[in-house]
Amino acid sequence: MSKTIKEIGESLKRAGMLETAPLCVYGSDTIPEGAVPMVNIDTCSAKVVLAVAVRKDTPPVYMGHDCLKGVCMGGITWLGYAKKISPYIRYFVSTGHENFRGGIAEYLKASPELFDKFRESIGEITLPGKYLVVSTCDDFAENEDNSGEDHAVQSVLCFGNGQQIRNLCSLIHFRTENPFESIIAPFGPACATMITYPAHMAQKTPKNTAFIGPIDPTGNSWFPTDYMALGIPLNMARDMCQDLEESFAVKRPEVAYPLERKDVNLRNEI
């Protein structure tokens, strides 16, 4: 029998010894019971998603066309609620333009033309449902056969420290053949790394790939310095759950999570 979303979350939490709650990302035509609009918590959707994982008092959250007022314009665009992007964004992300915010720029891309090519490489962003919902795996309401398909779960999202995310990445590689394709750290805003890419909302998203990040430095003011996020498509998360018992995480826990650590012995002559 296929694992439920709750069971997948429990397995990933066990595999990574996570202190945060694994999340699921899905589309729904109705607002889940108890869920609140993302903007009610913060204007930044990525910050809201982190809060759901780390704060037990944060309810499931959602975004929809009827609750976009006040949401970061980047989030509205990268989560698929705006089909058009401001012509000045290509300058804002790169070198700046005198007609946009007084010439302020993020200097994340070398030129506006490079940003254009990056945006083209993403393809069209499509919503998985009327509402985009993020909740803990424990809070997800399974359907009668416990497959979760009624709500179109797209991906699972984990937050953890370096060791925890390293071990989850290694569990992904338990069944890989090509070591270069299964996990990537793509350019893009934090909300894209956490939601859009792993949920395959972007048309040209590579298949069977997990996404580690975020690498957007504009979020460094609020994203914990010792954390990373790992967005995992649902099919890969199911495989990780199935592989857990046969993997190093269970059979060699003293290696995955050593109780004692050795100091790095740096010699003066090196």
> pLDDT tens for residues 218-243?
999 999 999 999 999 999 999 999 99
pLDDT for res 99: 82
pLDDT at 149: 46
What confidence tens digit (pLDDT) does each residue in 13-42 have? 999 999 999 999 999 999 999 999 999 999
Phi, psi values for residue 24, rounded to 5°: -120, 145
Which pairing describes strands 61-63 and 36-37: parallel, antiparallel, or unpaired?
parallel
- Whose tokens are 């298949």? That residue is 207
pLDDT for position 270: 54
Q: Please report the pLDDT score of residue 147 as a whole number.
A: 46
Beta-strand relationship, 153-160 and 23-28: antiparallel
Q: What is the pLDDT of residue 262?
A: 83
> Which segments in the chain show pLDDT lower than 50?
144-150
